[in-house]
Structure 1
Amino acid sequence: MSITLTVNGQRHELDVEPEMPLLWVLRDELGLTGTKFGCGVAACGACTVHVDGVAMRTCVTPVEAADGASITTIEGLAEASGAAPGELSALQAAWVAKQVPQCGYCQSGMLMAVSALLTENPQPTDEDIDAAITNVCRCGTYPRIRAAIRDVTAA
């Protein structure tokens, strides 16, 4: 089946099985390996990307559900956020400044989830953050994540 996706501003026409998880299309078909496989049941959030601006867990999303959609992955987050090519977004810069990642495995999905939250709610409370960001960080960097969010929202 032919599926059309616009990923990080580039249009792709793909001949893939419609039930193939979007995660594997991004990683295996398009070579965008920043989006990670974690649990395979949409519980951890490592596979989070934006589909038409909405944070979505791709490990359980069949690619046919995204046919015709505009998708932003971690590789395109900075430019989608208005950063110049080769620059970090304000959120990514705050992530670095607060030394958020330890192992880093969950961070691409975490950044995508937080970015979607801040687009919807530029001044989230701690309760808003807790409700919206259900991604799992096995290293427990949640205090640093919250500090990075606070840096971005204070600017």
Structure 2
Amino acid sequence: MIELQVNGVRHELSADPRVTLLDALRDRLGLAGTKKGCDQGQCGACTVHVDGQRVLSCLMLACQAAGHEVTTVEGLAGPDGSLHPVQAAFIACDGFQCGYCTPGQIMSAVACIREGNAGSDADIREFMSGNLCRCGAYPNIVAAVREAAGHARL
């Protein structure tokens, strides 16, 4: 039995100890916002937060997250459904095209701002370099991070 705390809700999963956090979130808990891209930790589409730190959920076992708070893109919105400032900025700045990488980009952007790495466009690009976008929306992603960096609720 694996006990996970995801987006403030406690879950008990009967799962093989080898199941990744990514697969537990998507397949066992139905949280499809976290995307499976490369399944090798190279694209960033599966980025979530564990105790506030960004992690690649395809490289972490679900059992390793037991006893820790996991936040997915679904957990960023307010209890009333209001968008997180980074989510709103991605919409305002057209920080996505096909949208597949967007949840991972958003989770990394939240961490980028929270950790103080959004001081310049170059800093944002460097911090976000682990998140790939096949559509090439990078200028808009940087603009969204820059815009969201001015908000307090991060």
TM-score of the superposed pair, with normalisation by structure 1: 0.91
- Percent identity between matched residues is 47
RMSD: 1.4
Separation in structure 1 between the aligned mates of residue 61 and residue 17 of structure 2, nearest angstrom: 6
Offset, 1:123: 4.1
Could you tell me which runs of 5 or more consecutive residues in structure 2 were left unpaired when the two chains were aligned: none
Could you say which residue in structure 2 is the equivalent of 1:109?
A: 104
Structure 1 residue 124 displacement after superposition = 2.6
Aligned to 2:144: 148
Q: Deviation digits for residues 38-85 of structure 1, max 9, x if unmatched?
A: 001000000010011011111121112111110110111123xxxx52
Work out the CA distance in 2 between the residues paired with 1:19 and 1:41: 15
Cα displacement (A) at 1:126: 2.5
How far is 1:19 from its partner? Answer: 1.5
* Aligned residue number for residue 28 of structure 1: 27
Q: Give the 3 Å change call, closer, same or farther, for CA 123–45 of structure 1 in structure 2.
A: closer
Q: What is the number of residues matched between the two proteins?
A: 150
CA shift in 2, pair 1:39/1:122, >3 Å: closer
Contact 2:48 2:73 in 1 (8 A): yes
Taking structure 2 as the reference length, the TM-score comes to 0.92
Q: Conserved in 2, the CA contact under 8 Å of 1:3 and 1:68?
A: no
The answer to whether the Cα contact below 8 Å between 1:122 and 1:153 also exists between their aligned partners in 2 is no
Whole-angstrom CA distance in 2 between matches of 1:85 and 1:13? 26
More helix by share: 1
- Give the aligned partner of residue 77 of structure 2: 78
1:46 and 2:45 are equivalent in the alignment: yes
